[in-house]
Structure 1
């Protein structure tokens, strides 16, 4: 079992990789989600890390604005729901941070768990992670 530091390091490395790959595809999530290397890496990533990543990028994307013209795929729906829950949670927990959000009991954690542990929906969970990553401000260091 991973400790929090190992988990956070893996999540940070994955988010950085996702951001790099997205940039290499001109921020085209559709092209990035078909990247064989990302798909294989995502499949071999533990479900706990996938869940943590989904929650972390949800937290980071909580201030993003939705473009109503965007097509609503299943992954879009998850991404906007997760970011919306993170935004609401942040308003309710003024002193809250990413770590507390990732560990706390709320609807996004339950949905992220379901999505991350479902091996049949790896493509949807990867696309959701990429959609949230693209909406995440990317500081030099977290």
Structure 2
């Protein structure tokens, strides 16, 4: 039987990795302990606003690399029901605090550049694709940006 995966992307605006650790400890604990989420420690943003950041994350290309006048009118969407067992979840932020006095400090500048990224893979996916899972685990410790 072929399994069809769904992708669920949950984005949070203006929360750095360190802010997430400070202000969302229960969420972080739940993701790590209950869902075995992969926590990407060196994840970095590639652009200064959400749209410019999201395009590389979802397409693998920068905005200037995309063809002009693209439309979604001919794209088909699969409305098949699925469960989280058939879903890869990306829980991420786009950047840290971008304004205010804190942003003017060295730590504020660092936090603004360092969003968070968690990836939750179904258990069966880890077993069926151990090489992909191993690569994902290895990349948790790497400096990285959105796919390019």
TM-score (norm 1): 0.25
Structure richer in strand, relative to its length: 2
TM-score (norm 2): 0.25
Higher relative contact order (CA 8 A, sep 6+): 2
